[in-house]
Structure formats: C-alpha cells, structure tokens
Amino acid sequence: MKTIPLGTTTLQVPSVAVGCMRINQLDKQEAEKFVQTALDEGANFFDHADIYGGGECEVIFADAVNMNSTVREKLILQSKCGIREGQFDFSKDYILTSVDDILNRLKTDYLDVLHLHRPDALMEPDEVAEAFDILERSGKVRHFGVSNQNPMQIQLLKKSVRQPIVANQLQLSITNANMISNGMNVNMLNESAVNRDGSVLDFCRLHDITIQPWSPFQYGFFEGIFLGNEKFPALNATINDIAAKYEVSNTTIALAWILRHPAQMQPVVGTTNMQRLKDCFKAADIYLTRKEWYDIYCAAGNVLP
C-alpha cells in the first residue's frame, strides 16, 4: 500500500484509511476477516469514533484484531469524540472522559490520532488546549485533528492549542465536490462558484493538514451511492470506460479520482464488503491522466467556467 505523510508529522500512513463505522454489522468471524483483509493489503490505518455503534464498533474491532501490545505496534488507530445525543461537546472534561472510554474499548494505552468530531458552537479553545495538553503529556494521544471544520474554526482553535492539527475529515466525492469546484469557478455567478467552506481545500494544503474525505462514494448527505445508480448515467458510463481500460472495478476508479488530486488526501472507506475493500486499496496504484480526471468530473455534472 502506498503511504503518505500525515500532516506535519513523521507518521507515514496508508493512502486509504479503513473506516470502522459499520463493523458492528458483522459477526465475529466476519469482523476478523474484515480486519485481516485490510492488514494483508497493508492497510493498517483504522478510523473509529466513539459514537459508531454507541461505542460497540471499537469493542468489536479490538476483539477482531485480538488486541495486545504486539498487535498494537502494527496498527495506526484514529478515533473521534465530541458528538453527544442532541449536542456537540468539546468541553475539557468530556474530551478527557471520552478518550479514556475509547482506549478502554479499543484495549490500548494510546491513540495515534484523536479528532474533534464536528464543530461545537460552544467550544472554548482554552479548554480544548488544556485537554490536548493532558492527553499528550499522559501519552494517551499522539496527534490531533478535526472533523468538518472550516479554516476560521481551525484558526480559532489554534489560538490556544499548541499541537499541530494534522488532519481534517471532510465530505468529498465526485458528486459532492464543491471544495474543488468553487476553486475553479472564482468570480462566476453559477452554483459551483458558491464558497461553502471558506476555501478549506487550499487552507489545508497551505498548512499541511491532511484531508481525510469521508463518504467518497455517496451523493448528497447519505442519499446513496452514485456507482451503478441510474440517476448518474453519464458518470457511470465514463467511470466504467476508464475502469475497463485499467482492468479494475468502478469502485477503484471512483476512489482513484480522489487520490489523483495533488493535495495527497487520505480517503476513509466504510465498506465491509471484502472484495470492495480490496478494490478500494487498488486505487492507490492507479494514477489517472488529467483528461480522465476532468472527464469524470464533468460527467458528474460539475461545471467548468
């Protein structure tokens, strides 16, 4: 598996991250096979969140991998905290409690990366900074990131937080590509010119923050997968033609489209289908031509000015 640097760290991570949000849909044998399939392909970066399955997904993962100190050294574990029922919570006490609970469920002493999961309108940067310092000093968290935050929110956080923000999880797919589109439609009056994220793509590139796209095959907000979907005939025809050229699946090409971007993103894939998981990993070995990238972009209905 091809690797990339995570943010400004010296940590080299697989270019495709394995999302564990749906691992609770698998039985024990299936979960073990899922984890081992990823590891066999060199994909040892696993993404979690304390809300996935109400914490059950982390428990299932730890059991599936037969967690112990030897196994732990071979893994890169990332989790997220901050979403509670009916609210977001970046308070110091909640962050510290959440991390302790995550570590207990994962049967580990530390996280490689902790993300703040969605912006909290009541965030106090000083409180977050205190929590991060405690977690870093105690060795419980090595690196820190955010999820779904725009540049000004990250700047506000950095007002107090001294640790580098190494990653930002953002929704991105061929059909949900506004962070790319608005940069190509500057000063235009069309829908694609609307800047909804404060130029977060350019901001992250300028500050060496790794973007981790989530839902890379979804359209809308969890409305479904665009691959094989009759709502996107031109897009699927284009992807299928390119897939045939490279002798890979449409899944591989759809993910290769994201990996082709020079920002060196690390998409998080959420499939629990073993073959589709392998198809995702193959994307790391595909380098689309500029024409192929733009053909796919335009076939999705994205506009070039």
Active site (annotated) includes residue 246: no
Amino acid letter, 98: S
Q: Is 158 left (phi over 0), alpha (psi -120 to 50) or beta?
A: alpha
Residue in 52, 94, 219, 297 annotated catalytic: 52
Give the whole-angstrom CA distance, residue 165 versus residue 92. Answer: 17
The residue ranges of DSSP E strands in the chain, in sequence order, are 3-5, 12-14, 17-19, 45-47, 76-81, 83-84, 87-88, 111-117, 141-147, 165-171, 210-214, 218-219, 224-225, 268-269
Residue 115 bridge partners (DSSP): 80, 145
Give the whole-angstrom CA distance, residue 148 versus residue 44. Answer: 23
Between the CA of residue 275 and those of 45, 46, 61, 278, 301, what are the distances in Å? Answer: 18, 18, 19, 5, 29
254 Cα distance to chain centroid: 15
Catalytic residue positions, numbered: 52
